Amino acid sequence: MLLEGKVAIVTGGGGGIGASTSKAMAREGARVALLDIDHAAAAQVAQDIRDSGRESIAIEVDVSDAIAVDAAVDEVLSAYGRVDVLFNNAGIIRRTNILDTNVDDWDLVMGVNVRSVFLVSRRVIPIMAAQGGGSIVNTGSGWGLKGGDNAISYCASKGAVVNMSRALAIDHGSQGIRVNSVNPGDVLTQMVRDEARQLGQDEIAFRDQAADRPLGRMGTPDEVAEAVVWLASDRASYITGASIVVDGGGTA
Q: 119, 66 in Cβ contact below 8 A?
A: yes
Cα separation, 160 vs 81, whole angstroms: 31
Q: Given the DSSP bridges, would you call strands 177-184 and 134-139 parallel, antiparallel or unpaired?
A: parallel
Q: 246, 223 in Cβ contact below 8 A?
A: yes
Quick one: how far is CA 29 from the chain centroid? 19
Torsion angles phi and psi, residue 134, rounded to 5: 175, 180
How does DSSP classify residue 187? B
The helix-helix angle for 116-131 and 152-172 (nearest 10°) equals 20
The one catalytic residue in 154, 162, 164, 224 is: 154
Cα separation, 162 vs 241, whole angstroms: 9
Cα separation, 106 vs 114, whole angstroms: 11
**Where is 188: in which H helix or E strand?**
none
Cα separation, 72 vs 134, whole angstroms: 19
Q: 143, 158 in Cβ contact below 8 A?
A: yes
Torsion angles phi and psi, residue 178, rounded to 5: -95, 140
User: Which residue from 37, 42, 40, 51 is spatially nearest to 21, judged by alpha carbons?
Assistant: 42
Active site residue 154: yes
Residues labelled catalytic: 154
